[in-house]
Structure 1
């Protein structure tokens, strides 16, 4: 499968604008879901599905470990809702990860996941991010923490060998 990750490169991670880094992830997730649902080739669809799950894992880890705790004061109830949405997505991701690639329910579960994620993205970008932008927070410190975690997650991922047939 030929994936163009140029749209996702973070060599210029905007540490002073962590929400822009998250929006980059959001754009890439939208693109991956779109490509997944348009794919006709079964192998391409499987690869795209695995990429979606991996990206969502990394993105969720960054939000849950750094971003949400650091911006909670901007709107605690909204952060609680975002965390609940992450929990829902995590359950779907785990189901998909354990499911056989050829399971006829997989496309339906990917649709449910996409719908949940796209609604979550809309909520973050339209509600949470503006509140965080208006709050008097040290966004550079948050961005630096996010970047450090992302580098760690990528390095950890590169250290893990993937056995044939093992779901990523």
Structure 2
């Protein structure tokens, strides 16, 4: 089979690449933001940006079935030796918050398992820590760059 596919048909296996589905209006908004940054910020201001992001880490870990193989003569024989990988339907996960800038990384904020980021947590926990860490790393004047997550754009967060 391999010989027919590769040698006769000249076909080769390749991995599927997953990319975000970015629409034309997203591309235009990104370009206009990049032009605004180039026009509005001086070169020395580029080093004063504090970028933020949050990430959920699942307790089940990451499972890549392409890297996991069990060799057995039948499925029934393979099952007791790791042939089945069980995942929770709603796995526990922890959220970690981290800021990054030219000078390095801030200390992470690790939320309790199951706790999510709301606008209240954002105002009470994240913003004071981001201010303190930004001042520690970059000085009194810095630019706080956030993404458009719902807690960041909530009406109480913007006031």
Q: Same fold (TM over 0.5)?
A: no
> So what's the TM-score if we normalise by structure 2?
0.27
> So what's the TM-score if we normalise by structure 1?
0.26
> Which structure carries more helix by proportion?
1
> Which structure carries more strand by proportion?
2
Rg (Cα) greater in structure: 2
